[in-house]
A = this chain, B = another copy of it.
């Protein structure tokens, strides 16, 4: 199981699962009967625009001058305009369809009226609709066309697009604040550090920028330890049931009729059954349940109830189920995969990618070499060694070129970050929720007066960026208030620096 789990731990969300390219052993993500196409209820949130983007910013070969259409979403509703130097809030798109991220970044919509902010959501190159070379068929074909997919090119895309947009709006003096969650949060933090002349500040939510190489804070076991702890904190028996189940699944699969038993226990569709795949499928539910353990019902990776980990453990501990471990696990999986109740069976071979994330495997195998592969002895999964070396070998064998595992820290740093940034840089918020397994690679301690860590012990993956609801717990409301206060301070300082009146804006 280790190898499979490693695959999926390497992806910030899930795209490695949905990849058929040279991987033939990975768990699926979505039950075949569930269509998770993007909601239409958000249509009024933004207009869709396209920007003619340069293919390679750092290179002057003739082919570097090729362009592609980069999609971005824009909302002028709340903007106070260029004359008022009203701010521009920009979301730094991550590894997927930008509409998906816009619809799950309600914080920007919720706060825009207060800040009179223009909202812009830029799609990351090679994801969603922003595909070079006329489409995925060519763009994803091989390393020659995929080679232009990198985090540095993406950041340069954002700088280029923002500068051009501001020029077209004659809004050169409108301050830009950037936002992002997960990989998008990394990009937001890095953008503030690399392009301070474009963005006055960054809210980097759940950005595991320390999950690289040998950076002290990022031990490869933390991801696994946090998932384990999330379930264990709900109930010890829930944890023990899951922990003990892997051997039981493998034993059952070995027995005559065992696979059929597993199929019927977990309502797996008839087309395919395999113990490894089933384990991957269950692990996915636990990990993504932990990542999206939000305090209110949500529909980010899947439609889920509030506190899905609690709900999964409730199913596992359900006293009415009797002694059947598989029935308990099925109850938990059904919460993650079938909260809407529409699924009649689950297809382990389903490789659908409703969020347009399939190019992540390329990033994960070239530069985004996250150090999260290890299982500790107390793991809710099967304990195993951190298999980083295997990982590197795997990348070398499977893909075109060797990984560059030290590139991210060379380009963006990370080692001794508190000393490096203590006297350099400013205006970054690092939010992390400690129930989020990615928080182990996040910045959890404030570095300076204006590079601050906000830590929510009860929080999950970029929960602060979600639309607010009436049911939000007080701690979440307070965190958002704190973030608004800090962003207000950045803007106040900027307006003071450029000698522009601040009082004319309607801040909270």
Contact = CB atoms under 8 A, between A and B. Distances in A.
B401 A65 contact: yes
Interface string A261-293: 000000000000000000000000000000000
A371 to B, nearest CB: 17
A147 interface: yes
Interface in A385-428: 400-402, 404, 406-407, 409-417, 419-427
Q: Which of A57, A60, A153, A420 is the most central at the interface, judged by chain B CB atoms within 10 Å of its CB?
A: A60
Interface in A174-221: 193-198
A197 B414 contact: yes
Chain A: number of interface residues, binned into ranges: 35 or more
Interface string A37-56: 00000000000000000101
Nearest to A407: B57
Nearest to A159: B410
A404 B61 CA distance: 13
B422 A497 contact: yes
A58 B64 CA distance: 12
Contact of A61 (B143, B193, B416): B143
A234 interface: no
B366 A60 contact: yes
A343 interface: no
A34 interface: no
Contacts of A163: 406, 410
A245 interface: no
A450 B144 CA distance: 44
Interface in A53-81: 54, 56-62, 64-65
B411 A57 contact: yes
Nearest to A498: B419
Contacts of A413: 195-198
Q: Which 10 A-B pairs have the closest CB atoms?
A: A197-B413, A61-B147, A58-B58, A196-B424, A60-B147, A60-B366, A197-B420, A58-B152, A419-B497, A423-B426
19 contacts: A58-B58, A58-B59, A58-B150, A59-B59, A59-B153, A60-B146, A60-B150, A62-B143, A64-B401, A65-B401, A159-B410, A172-B415, A194-B194, A196-B413, A197-B417, A416-B498, A419-B494, A423-B426, A424-B427
